[in-house]
Structure 1
């Protein structure tokens, strides 16, 4: 008779494969090649992959600093750390350690494939608490991996593909028992999560807290110290504490704070551009609206779980009550105080402005629905398995997974269109021969006035990165507004006085800066000209 362990291994491997297949369908095998950078930088995926590539390119070629995640050449006075380039610090630090052996131009593609496989495997672990049937676990895992809330982030804000960390947190939280191993597992998970993305950390931490409070006692005292230490140590390694201010601000902060990027009450049902079977419902007016859709297969799973519950109601065991409270709190945070139904404002709860400002550190609140979404689907599997048994459920889930693939074809095809046909290498953005001539003659590149995501930031930063020149033309997840203001004032005074910094190339981004440069530069010494539509001040050009 075949070894039961072999069947279990095959079930886990199938779950991982089902998690990786959507990534392959969207990005193709070429993204796995670390030297293939064009699909990241060609443009359709938006600015976030470019931000990651720039942060990593500077970080890997810079000397080690203190803390290890410091990345001063990308941003100079505005630069802080690899953490705020959203460059998956866990991989960036590892890649920098290994740079003596190999320097990878990009690790996003391998990260996405790994995240897809880990999503399937982590879902398989979680569903093992719902059913012992191997087919049901594998098919259910595939359904939890083929989700718009995951794939949407893969095709943009790539660190947030690490949603397998949420599934591992849910798995730990529902495991019975405790002990010191549980504390070490949580510390490891939260430390790793802190080095992937702060939003994921904000979701995993409440799940740990709920589990820790349930197990509070003398044996858990070490865990109460160990877990915060792991989080703090990981954040320090990534350079998180180098940012002195501006945690509640960042690119797009002019579009509003907490409450602007809310989860709509119909978000799970909104097929948007994802669905070929269900309609596009009205939703909130923000960029991430429409990505909470669970798919026709996911919604059918919830219906199956609801029917099972209606026939045989069950009260969750007391050990899960705090976990349910944490999930509801995250769901409430995502809905925010501005409650919408189909995009229409139903209610706005009054919140003190100081609290809104604090909560705006997690401005994209819609994302906080993810743990509840995964927990709800896992609970539906548990209820259905209890009612009909795992063997029959396995075939039902296989059908729901097939339904999910059929339903999500439009969304998958659209995201595939964003990367298909992209060039292999780094696409050219600046073509004037001036840039190639200027690169070896200067030591740094400034964009004036200073700004986070200022005009032309990507073209300027890409030129500087390829030339190996530090720059303050950046896109960071968060910047210190006071540092931006101080740099703006200093550059304005410098241009006004003509006391230019040695070895600095200035790219002038507004009329005021251009006027100051026109009045202060010395024509026989300095070059002031346009190149690819940008006004450039090259001090000492004619004196070299």
Structure 2
């Protein structure tokens, strides 16, 4: 209930209605919810492909699969399988509520490793749910709200006994996480490897561990294949020259846990590196005081780190080092820049938004602090302490919660209109696809063009994808430029011209007696054979 209350306070009841699509598309939440809605809208009505996650109509030559449209493939595949029984225009709202519930529930189970006091477990679970790093992702990059997978991974890794079917549990968790988001997968896999190594060092049955070492990666690969991950020929590496930046662009500042930013009403906004993720790693005043209480408890009753936790600690510190990146900053100031070879930076670009990789350590530190406090003062006292910290956390985060609530408050329930010229409605019935020229990921006007195409049921290459095959994109741009230059237009294609060069090519090749070249809502549009289609009533 505490986890659910966080979601309800921020989003209200409206987004829980699967028919309410407007809150995703109104604009303030950014492009990611729109990307998800478009990917799901195309995928839901398309016939099944091979692999099942293939989604070619959203992107055409640039399109690959639902995996790269961040559609939460775990839900998209299941809901498409139920097509005909239930129609779900959007599932993001119910997903967020489920994430809040699971964050609280798994947090309760995880804190059971640290304390047996019910109040301490409940208040601690609420503190794990009331975290900016979770709520920030809910109001934007919604698949990343599945941070309960990280708590569940920590819960498995902290099991001191010979948990029955542990390998099966890890395989199921990592396969499911594979179909939620790749960043969560990378973090959870690191925790699994640490747990597997711990059991190896403890001389657990080697045959079972060998089978697990093969079966778990196989389950992950099978899940990725199902979601269409391997349809991307190239493009996982964005490269240092990418306009969105490469590894090191979104680094974890050494003061990130302390930076209240726009979240805190009680702590100051500290200088930060200035990237998109900066400010979202704040632990809240309640979380910070919990860590302070844990440190005080350890000082009162010092203890060495148990050997069984060494692999997990190494994995969490490794994730932190990855998050810090080669550009080490303190309060936004560059302290050091480590010389990494270009080939390594290219590989690391796969997980370019590195600050997120500190999340598992943040959760582990809070759980560890509860365990230390319970050992020093007893669970009953810790329960009241955590209840007070949870109330303080709520007070501290009110500015951030209010801001995110304002992003969805008053949003329309229907799909907001972007293009109003009557031309679009006429063209929708006369063409079979829409091309945005030149074809680039997240190009000029991509959202308006794609939304028109989606509502008209037309495939389009006007997209925003997490990754695209740049080789395929370059080939597509060259091919379409040749079509416009020579006047050999692709049959049934409506061209939306996004730059002066493409417009010049169309002006030089189109036949004014047959083709229509005009502006509609600020976009230049080439409609080949328009006169003939009008005459034929098409």
TM-score by length of 1: 0.96
- Residue of structure 1 in register with 2:426 after alignment: 437
Which of 41, 58, 69 does residue 42 from structure 2 map onto?
Answer: 58
Q: CA deviation at 1:177?
A: 2.2
- Residue of structure 2 in register with 1:291 after alignment: 280
Q: Distance in 2 between matches of 1:186 and 1:226?
A: 10
- Residue of structure 2 in register with 1:111 after alignment: 95
User: Does the 8 Å CA contact 1:250/1:478 hold for their aligned counterparts?
Assistant: no
Tell me whether 1:72 sits opposite 2:61 in the alignment.
no
1:67-126 alpha-carbon deviations (Å, 9 max, x no partner): 000000000001000000001000000010001111211000000000001001111111
SS at match of 2:165: helix
Q: Distance in 1 between matches of 2:246 and 2:502?
A: 30
Which of 84, 88, 93 does residue 68 from structure 2 map onto?
Answer: 84
- Residue of structure 1 in register with 2:360 after alignment: 371
Which of 508, 514, 529 does residue 497 from structure 2 map onto?
Answer: 508
SS at match of 1:213: helix
1:23-72 alpha-carbon deviations (Å, 9 max, x no partner): 11110011100000111000000000000000000000000000000000
Q: Distance in 2 between matches of 1:117 and 1:75?
A: 34
1:1-400 alignment, distance < 5 Å:
17-178=1-162, 181-216=165-200, 217-249=206-238, 253-400=242-389
- Residue of structure 1 in register with 2:465 after alignment: 476
Q: Distance in 1 between matches of 2:48 and 2:290?
A: 50
Q: Distance in 2 between matches of 1:519 and 1:322?
A: 66
User: Does the 8 Å CA contact 1:258/1:360 hold for their aligned counterparts?
Assistant: yes
Q: Distance in 1 between matches of 2:242 and 2:7?
A: 31
Q: Distance in 2 between matches of 1:182 and 1:199?
A: 23
SS at match of 2:494: strand
Tell me whether 1:523 sits opposite 2:507 in the alignment.
no
Q: CA deviation at 1:337?
A: 1.0
Q: 1:252 to 1:198 in 2, by over 3 A?
A: farther
Q: 1:108 to 1:251 in 2, by over 3 A?
A: farther
Q: 1:270 to 1:283 in 2, by over 3 A?
A: same
Q: Distance in 2 between matches of 1:257 and 1:508?
A: 29
SS at match of 1:254: coil
Q: Distance in 2 between matches of 1:401 and 1:253?
A: 41
1:446-488 alpha-carbon deviations (Å, 9 max, x no partner): 0010000000000000000000000000000000111110000
Q: Distance in 1 between matches of 2:479 and 2:299?
A: 67
- Residue of structure 1 in register with 2:442 after alignment: 453
User: Does the 8 Å CA contact 1:251/1:477 hold for their aligned counterparts?
Assistant: no
User: RMSD between aligned alpha carbons?
Assistant: 1.1
Q: Distance in 2 between matches of 1:359 and 1:78?
A: 23
Q: Distance in 2 between matches of 1:411 and 1:180?
A: 42
1:523-543 alpha-carbon deviations (Å, 9 max, x no partner): 111111000000000011101
User: Does the 8 Å CA contact 1:34/1:104 hold for their aligned counterparts?
Assistant: yes
Q: Distance in 1 between matches of 2:456 and 2:116?
A: 56
Q: CA deviation at 1:251?
A: 13
Q: CA deviation at 1:252?
A: 10
TM-score by length of 2: 0.97
Q: 1:292 to 1:405 in 2, by over 3 A?
A: same
User: Does the 8 Å CA contact 1:250/1:477 hold for their aligned counterparts?
Assistant: no
- Residue of structure 1 in register with 2:536 after alignment: none
Q: 1:180 to 1:134 in 2, by over 3 A?
A: closer
SS at match of 2:418: coil
Aligned length: 528
User: Does the 8 Å CA contact 2:239/2:346 hold for their aligned counterparts?
Assistant: no
Q: Distance in 1 between matches of 2:500 and 2:430?
A: 26
Q: Distance in 1 between matches of 2:490 and 2:422?
A: 24
User: Does the 8 Å CA contact 1:180/1:220 hold for their aligned counterparts?
Assistant: no
Unaligned ranges ≥5, structure 1: 1-16
SS at match of 1:418: helix
SS at match of 2:153: helix
- Residue of structure 2 in register with 1:490 after alignment: 479
Q: Distance in 1 between matches of 2:164 and 2:344?
A: 36
